[in-house]
Amino acid sequence: MATFQAPKGTYDLIPPVSVKYLAVREAIAAPLRNSGYGYIETPGFEDVGLFARGVGESTDIVSKEMYAFETKGGDQLALRPEGTASVLRAALEASLHKKGNLPVKLWYSGSYYRYEKPQKGRYRHFSQVGAEAIGAEDPALDAELIILADQAYRSLGLRNFRILLNSLGDKECRPVYREALQSFLSGLDLDEETVRRAEINPLRVLDDKRTDVQKQLVGAPALRDYLCDACKAYHEEVRTLVTAAGVAFEDDEKLVRGLDYYTRTTFEFVHDGLGSQSAVGGGGRYDGLSEMIGGPALPSVGWALGVDRTVLALEAEGIDLGIPAATSVFAVALGEEARRVLFGKVTELRRAGVAADFSYGGKGLKGSMKDANRSGARLTVVAGERDLAEGVVQLKDMESGEQAPVALADLVDAVRARLA
């Protein structure tokens, strides 16, 4: 019978690698929890229209990469390709914007799905931690989110990442720029699909990674020359606040990001050690998204950081997170009576907050000590019938190799003292 494998373009997270992913998620979440962001979790699938309207029909995400399907009841659903639209939908549905202070600050962690051509750093199932600040138009919020992402990456020890920053203007000035850009693009030699994209959202053409397209874009009108005074002032304030916090960034006038809902501030975190998939995260302001999906006007800003990409960035910089072993104490019992007694002691240690494990399967001393070694435990407790008759167990320090008897009744205290 054929064995099953993970679907193409996906991966399984298994120990010891999975510990790294947990540490990355925790490092990204910590500054958010410390800054007034509450945790939100949304379903893995949503109404397909939420993404078509919110993310944008012209985007690759909606037109090519979305896992869309019809349920047995005839509903048109899609696996979520990104987090913002879902979080905003949930906040609107629960009327969070009516329940007190704005902005509503939320963070989330989960899996997302896109039907992409699999390659290193780009999977069909991937993991992100994201943050959204909903319901306030304030450059300090944009700056806060950029600073918090920088703090998260630095807490992991990352140094070789860059922050790219741009402004996409708003509904006042962007249409004027859009017209100028469309006029410029109409004179280029572009393939049919790119022409169609230029009609729906010309800014997306600037984001085209193909060399032949990029060559033709030399001399394209620059968005910064079309920004209205309000957008210029807003962007300057974001830049000032981020700079005052000691966070370095680069202005990138070609940065548009792959989602249609962005307005004004847009930013990306890139790492030069990742080859072509250099973006480790990004985000921006999306002041019109709430109306696009049927809600009231709620100016908002957010980002999502890729957990997979961040792990690759850590590897590229050769950073060892120094995660301690999951087990502190490993118990090895020789004989039935010792097995019952030590199992009880392991339960006691766990209740006392000590990470403890037990040698299961009756392997004998040699096999059990191998298990103890593999567990990474700092201490091993060994007991046979003779030890129990004397009311003691042997406590072995796995680093120094030293072993000494400890009274059974004092084991928990002795272990805690050694680990401290």
> Could you write out the three-class secondary structure of 12-48?
CCCCCHHHHHHHHHHHHHHHHHCCCCEECCCCCEEEH
Q: Which residues of 178-207 are buried (b: 16+ CB within 10 A; e: fewer)?
A: bebbeebbeeeebeeebeebbeebbbbbbb
CATH, range 329-419: 3.40.50.800
| Domain ranges (residues) in the chain | 17-173+227-316, 329-419
pLDDT at residue number 7: 93
pLDDT score of 265: 95
Of the candidates 205, 210, 240, the one whose C-alpha atom is nearest the C-alpha of residue 223 is 205
Predicted local distance difference test score (pLDDT) of residue 58: 58
- The pTM of this model reads 0.90
On whether the CB atoms of residues 11 and 123 are closer than 8 A, the answer is yes
The pLDDT value given to residue 390: 95
Mean pLDDT by 10-residue block, N- to C-terminus, for the chain (420 residues)? 88 92 97 98 94 72 83 94 95 93 96 88 92 97 98 96 94 86 84 82 80 84 89 97 98 77 90 84 93 93 96 94 92 94 96 96 91 95 94 94 94 93
Between strands 329-333 and 379-383, the pairing is parallel
Q: Is 342 exposed, middle or buried (0-12, 13-18, 19+ CB in 10 A)?
A: buried
Only one residue has tokens 């800054």, namely 35
Residue 258: predicted pLDDT? 60
Structure confidence at residue 174 (pLDDT): 83
41-45: Cβ within 8 A, 24+ apart? 41/108, 41/110, 42/80, 42/83, 42/86, 42/87, 42/89, 42/90, 42/108, 42/110, 43/80, 43/86, 44/79, 44/80, 44/110, 44/111, 44/113, 45/77, 45/78, 45/79, 45/80
Identify the pLDDT of residue 260: 65
Residue entry with tokens 């699909």: 193
Place domain 17-173+227-316 in its CATH homologous superfamily. Answer: Bira Bifunctional Protein; Domain 2 (3.30.930.10)
